[in-house]
Structure 1
Amino acid sequence: MSVNGFTHFITPDGARFEPWDERRLRTLAEQIRAGIAEHLAGHARDAGGPLPAAQKVELTELYLDEGLDAANAAQIAAGGAGLSVRGEQMIRARVRDALLGLGGLQALMDDPGVETINANGCDVVFAIRADGQSTPEAPIADNDEAMVELVRALARSGEEERRFDRGVARLNAMLPDGSRLFAAMGVAKRPCLSIRKNLLQDVSLRDLVERGMLDEKLAAFLTALAGAKFNLLISGGTSDGKTTLLRALLGALPPETRLVTIEDTFELNLDQYPHRHRDVVAYQAREPNTEGQGEVSQAELVRWALRMSPDRVIVGELRNDEFIPMCNAMNQGLDGSMATVHASSSEQVVERLINLGLQSPERLSAEATVRLLGSAVDFIIQLGRQRDKTRVVTSIREVCGSDGASLITNETWRPGDDRRAVRGVQLRPQTLERLVEAGYDPAAWE
């Protein structure tokens, strides 16, 4: 039976419907969703392109009302009862989430206590919370095929539509709210995904003090490091807060500072906060097209950045060839530039970067890599976690040069008993003098 363009199940010979149960509500929600999606696609074709967000919401609500009216009419015509208030609410939520939101992921995305969502198939879902606890969650789709369609819809919702199929079996993308999505299919038994939510975007060092990542003295020191235009490298493990601290450090700069950011997937989003950053060029690496053409690497973007008259260049994460051009940029007068690197300790940073140097097109030796690092980077800021999983700054090392394959550093802030950084060895006199010129109170160091 078709009512106003929506098709619904009617039992044979107009017999009474069975009572509405969750399975039938889900089926009806999917039917209405499919009908609305078809209507929206028609409007988009007529318009010659994607619908504006406001129009899409308006049309979705219009067709949702029509679909529910049609369902109730069909039910009553067959001698049954209409939908309950709860049933209508459930259908509206599922359809809105599917067409305007994130489908079965919406509830987890809306939960402020969830930091990471992992799905190993549509119905093996885990939420990782701030305290590190992993909890099993409800399925995010009715089957694995629907999960793949959900991921494709997410790929279309970001800044740049990206393919996700057997030809391109992995997807690395930013969602509209700034969360980071990675998904894979065809190379595992079931499609899988991981979403790292971006809970702290408009963030300051003061916010991080309130969250316990660092104390007032360390916040003042970091503010001075940024203001004095030292080149900073932020190190930490997965989800230790590297990007969050990078945002906070950049937030300590004057709003007129011209920044060029380079990322493999947009995550910093500094341009969305003009009260903190008025002059931002945000670069994102580009993957090759289906013919293998059009790739733009982070290393190439670092070279482009130098031609954009930046005050500072920021690399979201050093992971490939961009390490060497970034260090060269730091050595060429772009003081105050910053980057992050994935390493579990400040000692491991050197080994990590030596490996990047060896794997780079330049094939740098360990000694050459360390010499480059020693001349380019002024401080290494290490992040970690306390026993209760609280993210903290654990160590800050002043880079003093190199000796062969060894980086010479002073640990000016060392891990305390609770792993939070406390004062370590003295700063070099010339370093303290430069900090004082940037407004640092030398009494705070005594």
Structure 2
Amino acid sequence: MTTADPAVSWSAGADPLTAALRAEVARRLAASGAAPSGQERAERVHGFVQAVLDEHAQRELADGRHPLAPPKEEAIARAIADSLIGMGGLQPLLDDETITNIFINGSRVWVTRTDGRKEELPPVAGSSEELVALVRDIAARAGTDERRFDRGVPKVSVRLPDGSRLFATMLSREPSVSIRRHTLLQTSLQQLAHDKGVLPPGMISLFSAMVKARKNIIICGGTNSGKTTFLRALAREIPPQERLVTIEDTDELALDQDPDHPDCIALQAREANIEGEGAIDQAELVRWGLRMAPDRVILGEARGGEVIPLLNAMSQGNDGSLATIHTSSSRQAFARLQTYAAQAAERLPFEATAPLIAGAVHFVVHLDWAGDRRRVVSSVREVLHHEGADVISNELFKPGPDRRAVPAAPLRSGTLDELLDAGFRPELIGGW
């Protein structure tokens, strides 16, 4: 895709003429019969846009005025189409492949780019009211159950067609919108290594062997460190005939839409409705998922009480399961899991959770930001056993001077043999 100029789209969208022409296109779309979706809707909209613009040009000529210049007409056509089949003023930002995240604080728009830069761009709406209306329209067209967005229900979470996740709230002085881009829905370890520099090529066979040897892996790191993308890359190593159940608070993994995983069920947590009923949390979904006879359970992000059924699943026959968790180091993953277990309904103390973790988790992979603002694998731990309330592990790879992982300790001989049988080639990793 080409990089669009958001200022051009917004200036066209704010023009009174564009608003009038859009209203006419919307009227014709509504009068054309049953509300279409997808490609049919797009074809109708583009047809109506062209017809309305042609009629406008004919009226201008009949009245002795010049018709719109081609660049202006093209900008108006794009703005109308974006508003009816795209994401309005957000569409140019979503079309820009160099943008990784979008943050809107009322009239101020901030983006982060693939090279780590952060910059401010022009507004995507003319007022707070227009921004709220845009979010409502996006939620309605996304087919989500959470269509309300007002003072009574002041937040909405929507998965956009490209896989990005939009979250909006109006609890601050102005409405706030955050969009996390997921541009690597079909990523692989090879792509992360060779194109993105997340890991050295020599480590590809290590992570591939971990998955194929059915090792349970916790992926950890800070916000926006690439945990979900790395999980997707690991999942690409799972044989296609295996049955997967993914569990998420918000739908981001999209493994059920990956042709490499034809037998995949995606379960998503649900919040209570406005009457306070119907809530289903991730802990309950893990229990539901285990009744579906999965080969592996994949948890998008551990945040609370779901860690107990997840760890039980990992140690009771669902080997090869994956999960992510927010931490600032690989060692902290154990304390975070224990804290979540202590906060769960079971109220497990650290002394009870340590053996559960040691018996369930095989490896912990930590992602971080290198000095050159690249997301990188920074640490890899092999879980050994537990002593009291402590989980004992070996840090196989530790953060180097630039936060990239460097060899630190050898694998246990038994684990090494299992990974060798699964295709691991240690000779590809220098210094290990």
Q: With the length of structure 1 as denominator, give the TM-score of the two structures.
A: 0.89
Residues 1:37 and 2:26 aligned together: yes
Give the corresponding residue for 1:111: 96
> Of residues 6, 27, 33 in structure 1, which corresponds to 2:16?
27
Worse-superposed segment, 130-139 or 431-440: 431-440
SS at match of 2:300: strand
Counterpart mapping for 1:187-266 below 5 A: 187-210=171-194, 211-266=196-251
Counterpart mapping for 1:421-432 below 5 A: 421-432=405-416
Q: How many residues align?
A: 418
Shift of 1:304: 1.1
Shift of 1:76: 4.5
State the distance in 1 between where 2:180 and 2:16 align. Answer: 30
Structure 1, unpaired ranges of 5+: 1-21
Give the corresponding residue for 1:69: 54
- List per-residue Cα deviations over 1:32-71 (Å, max 9, x = no partner): 222322333344xx42xx4132321222123213322343
Residues 1:302 and 2:286 aligned together: yes
RMSD of aligned C-alpha atoms?
1.9
SS at match of 1:213: coil
Question: Aligned partner of 1:250: which letter?
Answer: A
Worse-superposed segment, 231-240 or 358-367: 358-367
Question: Aligned partner of 1:394: which letter?
Answer: S
Give the corresponding residue for 2:4: none
Question: Aligned partner of 1:227: which letter?
Answer: K
Shift of 1:134: 1.0
- List per-residue Cα deviations over 1:122-174 (Å, max 9, x = no partner): x2001101222111101101111111111112212335242222221111221
Counterpart mapping for 1:345-384 below 5 A: 345-384=329-368
Shift of 1:321: 1.8
State the distance in 2 between where 1:42 and 1:260 align. Answer: 42
> Of residues 257, 267, 284 in structure 2, which corresponds to 1:272?
257
State the distance in 1 between where 2:88 and 2:332 align. Answer: 40
Structure 2, unpaired ranges of 5+: 1-10
Task: Tell me if the contact between 1:201 and 1:268 (Cα under 8 Å) persists in the aligned partners.
Answer: yes
Question: Aligned partner of 1:326: which letter?
Answer: L
State the distance in 2 between where 1:95 and 1:173 align. Answer: 22
- List per-residue Cα deviations over 1:157-208 (Å, max 9, x = no partner): 33524222222111122111001111101x1100011111111111111101
Question: Aligned partner of 1:162: which letter?
Answer: E
Question: Aligned partner of 1:26: which letter?
Answer: D
State the distance in 1 between where 2:402 and 2:221 align. Answer: 17
Give the corresponding residue for 1:3: none
Identity, % of aligned pairs?
A: 44
State the distance in 1 between where 2:14 and 2:65 align. Answer: 15
State the distance in 2 between where 1:347 and 1:308 align. Answer: 33
Residues 1:396 and 2:380 aligned together: yes
Q: With the length of structure 2 as denominator, give the TM-score of the two structures.
A: 0.92
Task: Tell me if the contact between 1:25 and 1:87 (Cα under 8 Å) persists in the aligned partners.
Answer: no
State the distance in 2 between where 1:83 and 1:442 align. Answer: 65
State the distance in 2 between where 1:422 and 1:364 align. Answer: 35
Question: Aligned partner of 2:22: which letter?
Answer: R
- Would the alpha carbon gap of residues 390 and 443 (structure 1) be closer, same or farther in structure 2, given more than 3 Å must change? closer
Task: Tell me if the contact between 2:341 and 2:347 (Cα under 8 Å) persists in the aligned partners.
Answer: yes
